[in-house]
Amino acid sequence: MSTGMSADVSNAQYLPIADHGLIGDLRTTALVGANGTIDWYCCPRFDSPSVFAALLDSDKGGSFKLAAEVRATTKQFYFPDTNVLITRFYANDGVGEIQDFMPIADESPEPGRHRLIRRVACVRGSLPFRARVAPRFDYGTQPHTLRLTQGQAVFESPSLSLALTATVPMEADGVDMWAEFKLHEGEHAVFALDRVGDGVAPRSCAIAEAEEEFTATVAFWRRWLSASRYRGRWRETVHRSALVLKLLTYAPTGGIVAAPTTSLPEEVGGERNWDYRYVWVRDAAFCVYALLRLGFTQEAEAFMRFLTANVCTCPPGASGPLQIMYGIDGRSDLPERQLDHLEGYQGSWPVRVGNAAVGQLQLDIYGALIDAVYLYDKWGKPISSGDWDYVSGLVDWVCDNWDQPDEGIWETRGGRKDFLYSRLMCWVAIERAIRMAGHRGLPADTARWQRTRDTIYRQIMQRGWSAEHQAFVQYLGGDVLDASVLMMPLAKFISPTDPKWLSTLTALGDRLVSDSLVYRYDPAASPDGLRGMEGTFSICSFWYVEALARAGRLDEARLAFEKMLTYANHVGLFAEEIGQAGEQCGNFPQAFTHLALISAAFNLDRALG
């Protein structure tokens, strides 16, 4: 996106979730507000405790404020084809900008440094600026000291130390640092925040070095994006989504996080606030599909390495051989706790760290994972004999366990049911494995697999169909509509023009769709164990686009897609959900939404010809 959003640089306590851009270094990320404030940053990894978390508590969370010290409006955009974010300030006496980026660790001679660079420039006239750096370590629970040495400020806490350097004079205010400075046209200032310790020493960042880092970071992102094969109608939008998915990748292991934030509410004031900084098998597998579609095979290969190194070696748990999520380092223990000292975004408490859903049984993940392996085997590299042995074991387990209630794709905490989507993806797991075995001549008990696959198919068609609603429903024998059934034609379970499917699509459009936006389900009709309501689910909205396109309703599909794009934020990012007034809700940005956008754009392009 090259267009910006306008915002009055006022002192609102919490910016809208959508008023942020994302930067990162394939280890962690930071959210930069349209007012120039970094109000979310975990260091040195996605799942590390926060350093800046004013997004979850404006008083206690900590932030890195940097803005023009006069009344101004701002516009924010990405440097073209990169994840370098630029925030511009327009005032009566001049125009200035902040260039925010993180050098890529793998490109650095000091991979442990983790550097965040904020380059300030005055491009017209002159402008005064003010900066205030106020870290609050470990979600604001760890006190820190401030040590000034040789023009550098070192913030030291028991678990982490950060060094701040700047090319303008800085002053201490207790344990925080601040600076006031004025730039004239053509002048620059640089702030660099480095993780130090473990052999990494504080080091200044001169204006010339910041320029070199900027150039190298731009070159990295453009070089990565050049591998894309997408040349369709929505190239800029699709490429922004691809850049987001790459930002959410943890390079050391190949794991892909669902989102870089925790506890951003699905409804302001509600309790649907979860920690998404982990590798969901489902989300990551779908990411692999989206990236393979665009030609990014290295990311798929990296995720396969994550599976081989972590998931395949993890002992089976109470819910089966797969957990629904893992840590970015492959760990399986993700205990959930509440941070009672933080008030939450706009008072949306509780703030959670960890995720208790890790122990849930969600049978659909087997289909998501094996489908990703199948696509990698088809479009990337043939899988190894060891990987096939593991996949075969998973399929055998699915054949033994598919016919049991589970918590389902939406991780409801209202009890297990015979969810149709879970059955559908068990069918996918077996069907894709049969394809791989047949294509490669791999050993498999295909007779048993085929019998089980066909049994699942018949059960879904008979018990998942509601004669009353003339639609496939949320769970077997039920009468609740659920947008997850949109995956039925996408997974090639049913023809997109089958009369039963077309009737279902109409019913979903009548009951769950609002101006192209799609609700997951009606919580009142299908209690999920939580209070309050939620917004429309953006992945479902893009599934709806794709289902319309596959059904031949191309005009409706294209209009729904274009409408969905109007709900993106000013730099093309989507959260998990869209609220009643069109606002972004939930963790941000959300991998699920962006991967579904890529898939919808790809398939709509192909259908339009």
> How crowded is residue 218: how many other Cβ atoms within 10 Å of its Cβ?
18
Mean pLDDT, residues 414-434 taken together: 96
Helix pair angle (446-463, 420-440), 10° resolution: 150
Mean pLDDT, residues 214-219 taken together: 97
> How crowded is residue 165: how many other Cβ atoms within 10 Å of its Cβ?
20
CA distance 274 to 534: 13
Mean pLDDT, residues 580-607 taken together: 96
CA distance 213 to 158: 30
**For 155, what's the count of Cα atoms within 13 Å in the CB-facing half-sphere?**
26
CA distance 571 to 554: 27
pLDDT tens-place string over residues 496-542: 999 999 999 999 999 999 999 999 997 666 555 555 567 899 999 99
Q: Which one, of 114, 79, 102, lies nearest residue 222 by Cα?
A: 79
Question: What's the one-letter identity of residue 187?
Answer: E
Q: Which helix (H) or strand (E) holds 223?
A: helix 207-225
Q: Which helix (H) or strand (E) holds 536?
A: strand 536-537
- On average, the pLDDT of the chain sits at 93
pLDDT tens-place string over residues 291-322: 999 999 999 999 989 988 888 777 787 789 99
CA distance 250 to 407: 28
**For 63, what's the count of Cα atoms within 13 Å in the CB-facing half-sphere?**
23
pLDDT of 167 reads: 96
pLDDT tens-place string over residues 40-85: 999 999 999 999 999 999 999 999 999 999 999 999 999 999 999 9
pLDDT confidence bin for 149, thresholds 50/70/90: confident
pLDDT tens-place string over residues 532-557: 567 899 999 999 999 999 999 999 99
> Which residues partner with 338 through β-bridges?
352
Q: What is the DSSP string of 44-66?
A: SSTTSPEEE-TTT-TTTS-EEEE
